[in-house]
């Protein structure tokens, strides 16, 4: 049984729509709290970079969600995009029985 979200958001989109916009926080303000350069955080919220394990730990400390949830969100986003791009129609499953 598969549990997958068809269009999971990029973590940067999630940060923009759940934290920055509703709380009227600037990317510069959050980047300072994260202890990262504003361009590093800017690339994340503009969906040009991914959440690394280090960034996930920093996001956990500043935004309050677990590091695991940030990494899972990134994985779900990546998998959804790859599923759309990879053609597996010509592959045959191995029967283990």
Q: For residue 63, give its domain range.
A: 11-80
- Categorize the per-residue pLDDT at 14 as very low, low, confident or very high, splitting at 50, 70 and 90: very high
In total, how many domains does the chain have?
1
Residue 1 belongs to some domain of the structure: no
Burial 20-48 (b: 16+ CB within 10 A, else e): beeeeeebeebbeebebeeeebbebbeee
Q: What is the pLDDT of residues 65-95, one digit of tens each?
A: 999 999 999 999 999 999 999 999 999 999 9
Mean pLDDT of the chain: 94
Residue 40 belongs to some domain of the structure: yes
Global pTM value: 0.87
- Categorize the per-residue pLDDT at 1 as very low, low, confident or very high, splitting at 50, 70 and 90: very low
Residue 4 belongs to some domain of the structure: no
- In percent, the amount of the chain with pLDDT more than 70 equals 95
CATH code of the domain containing 31 = 1.10.260.40
């Amino acid at each position: 049984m598969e549990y997958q979200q068809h269009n999971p958001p990029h973590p940067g989109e999630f940060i923009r729509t759940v934290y920055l916009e509703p709380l009227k926080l600037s990317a510069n303000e959050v980047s300072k709290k994260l202890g990262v350069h504003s361009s590093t955080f800017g690339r994340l919220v503009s969906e040009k970079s991914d959440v690394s394990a280090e960034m996930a730990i920093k996001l956990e400390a500043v935004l309050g969600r677990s590091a695991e949830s940030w990494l899972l969100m990134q994985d779900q986003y990546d998998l959804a995009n790859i599923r759309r791009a990879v053609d597996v129609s010509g592959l045959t499953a191995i029967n283990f029985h």
